[in-house]
Amino acid sequence: MKQITVLGATGSIGLSTLDVISSHRDKFSVFALTANTNVEEMFRQCCEFSPRYAVMSCDESANQLRKLVEKTQLDTEILSGKKGLETVSEHSGVDVVMAAIVGAAGLRPTLAAVNAGKRILLANKEALVMAGSLFMAAAKEAGAEILPIDSEHNAIYQCLPTGYRSGMPLKHIRRILLTASGGPFRDMPLAELANVTPDQACKHPNWSMGRKISVDSATMMNKGLELIEACWLFDTNPENVEVHVHPESIIHSMVEYDDGSVLAQMGCPDMRTPIAYGLGWPERIESGVSSLDLFKVAQLNFEKPDEQRFPCLRLAAEAYRKGGTACAILNAANEVAVDAFLNNRIRFDQIATLIESVMALIVPRQQPSFDMIFEDDLAARAKAEELIDQGL
Ligand code: NAD
Ligand code: MG
């Protein structure tokens, strides 16, 4: 029986994780669940999975949840804040941590799990983008296994030789072919991009996801973050990773070997496949995902990304090349920009402009410590807010 902590249990990945777990009660037991402020959903999950701990971000939400739990037979202990998140990530009773908090908020608890040598199912790509070098070094030192859950990285992992583990150098591999759907605005006339609404941006053609990653997919910053994520997970560099826009989202990514063989992982676009892969690893378990009907799909298309339409891809590659805290600055500026767009404070096309300005104004520092990463993350957020207040 594996004991699982689900960080970000009320989100899109969290819900899919619990869906897979619910059909394998003989294999997995929920040790802890965490959420930001959604007390109602967390209470429902506590009733269904009887975790030992439930963690809410603030005391107020924790108190509300505690009152609800006290009226039941449950003996779930309610914790709150950063300390609570770290407790359930590094606890000796935990085997596997699903890291599915969105954004920079996921870094500390995921790192706590890494330092405790847990098996990490990594969905929270922002943690790796911010602190890739230190994160991977910490995993190596603690013997923590990182299984990628992001569908592309999970696909790449599946296409790598048996025995390959995250962080090892690639052998006999020419390149990684990272696929991207191109998001909802791939074909929209460029002039119209200025007027798109948050709801349009969050309506992804193939995947159902949280709002932040949906906007990232629409700007293709998601692919930029994934490019950086791939470089850290597979110890490579952007020159060896080629983005292929593949609007059907059936091939989740590919690996090309020295002999010219290209291996692809395919399937219906449903995150329960990579989640089940991570939960079951090294075995395969049922995910609840339906079979791929290639007769219905009929065609698979590929095109090069349009750099004019998607400047975020270039910004991400630039940040990776700059190194040091540059990716943390990129990520922080992006988080503020996406939030501002979702709250109608800036236009869609201003997301990239804002990130580029922040990157030009804050000089990244090399060979950073975690403290320096968090400092530059904060500095980038403050600068982004300042620029928004000034009208960019
Ligand atoms: P989501 O917004 O649906 O869920 C986020 C979860 O994090 C929620 O449970 C929320 O309560 C929690 N959370 C948010 N802010 C928090 C904070 N400050 N402190 C503590 N908890 C907080 O997001 P999602 O779509 O499930 O994505 C989660 C992560 O997985 C992201 O990093 C995303 O890039 C990655 N990912 C998601 C998908 C997908 O299909 N949704 C695919 C690949 C990767
Ligand atoms: Mg992805």
Distance CA 177, CA 156 (A): 9
Mean pLDDT of 84-107: 98
* Ligand 1, atom 32: closest residue by C-alpha: 124
The tens digit of pLDDT for each residue in 123-146 reads 999 999 999 999 999 999 999 999
pLDDT of residue 225: 98
Q: Ligand 1 atom 12: the closest Cα is on which residue?
A: 8
Phi then psi for residue 190, to 5 deg, are -50, -40
State the pLDDT at residue 382.
Answer: 98
89-94, long-range: CB within 8 Å, 24+ apart, which pairs?
89/5, 89/7, 89/113, 89/116, 89/118, 90/115, 90/116, 90/118, 91/5, 91/31, 91/32, 91/53, 91/116, 92/116, 93/3, 93/31, 93/52, 94/3, 94/4, 94/5, 94/31, 94/32, 94/118
> Dihedral sign, CA of 207, 212, 216, 218?
positive
Q: Which of 111-125, 201-215, 248-262 has the lowest mean pLDDT?
A: 201-215
Using CA atoms, how far apart are residues 195 and 151, in angstroms rounded to an integer?
30
Region 228-232: mean pLDDT is: 98
According to the model, what pLDDT value does residue 317 have? 97
Q: Is the CB of 14 under 6 A from ligand 1?
A: yes
Pocket test for ligand 1, best of 42, 213, 219, 249 (most atoms within 8 A of CB): 213
Smallest Cα–Cα separation from 352: which of 246, 237, 215? 215
Q: Residue 141: its pLDDT value, please?
A: 98
Beta strand ranges found along 186-250 (DSSP E): 241-245
Model confidence band, residue 378 (pLDDT cutoffs 50, 70, 90): very high
CA of 220 to the centre of ligand 2 (A): 11
What is the reported pLDDT for 152?
A: 98
Mind listing the pLDDT tens digit for each residue in 291-307?
A: 999 999 999 999 999 99
Distance CA 21, CA 27 (A): 8
**Span 359-369, mean pLDDT?**
98
**Do the beta carbons of residue 5 and residue 31 sit within 8 Å?**
yes
Q: What is d(CA 129, CA 226) in angstroms, rounded to the nearest whole number?
A: 8
Find the mean pLDDT for residues 69-96.
Answer: 98
Question: Crossing angle for the helix pair 221-233 and 211-219, nearest 10 degrees?
Answer: 100
pLDDT band of residue 97 (cuts 50, 70, 90) is very high
Q: Is 383 touching ligand 1 by the criterion CB < 6 Å?
A: no
Q: How confident is the model at residue 279 (pLDDT cuts 50, 70, 90)?
A: very high
> Which tens digits make up the pLDDT trace of 198-219?
999 999 889 889 999 999 999 9
Cβ atoms of residues 167 and 143 within 8 Å? no
**Bridge partners of 145?**
119
**What is the separation of C-alpha 62 from the centre of its chain, rounded to a whole number of angstroms?**
25
- What's the token pair of residue 306? 């349009």
Cis peptide before 161 (omega within 30 of 0): no
Tokens of 139: 């995993």
Domains of the chain, CATH where assigned: 2-148 (3.40.50.720), 152-314 (no CATH), 323-392 (1.10.1740.10)
- Name the pLDDT band for 353 (thresholds 50, 70, 90): very high
In this predicted model, what pLDDT tens digit does every residue of 335-348 receive, in sequence order?
A: 999 999 999 999 99
Does residue 80 have its Cβ closer than 6 Å to ligand 1? no
Question: How remote is the CA of residue 333 from the centroid of ligand 1, in Å?
Answer: 18
Ligand 1, pocket-test mutation among 80, 87, 102, most atoms within 8 A of CB: 102
pLDDT for 130: 98
pLDDT (average), residues 187-199:
96
Q: Is 221 in the pocket of ligand 1 (CB under 6 A)?
A: no
- Assign 95 a pLDDT band (cuts: 50, 70, 90): very high
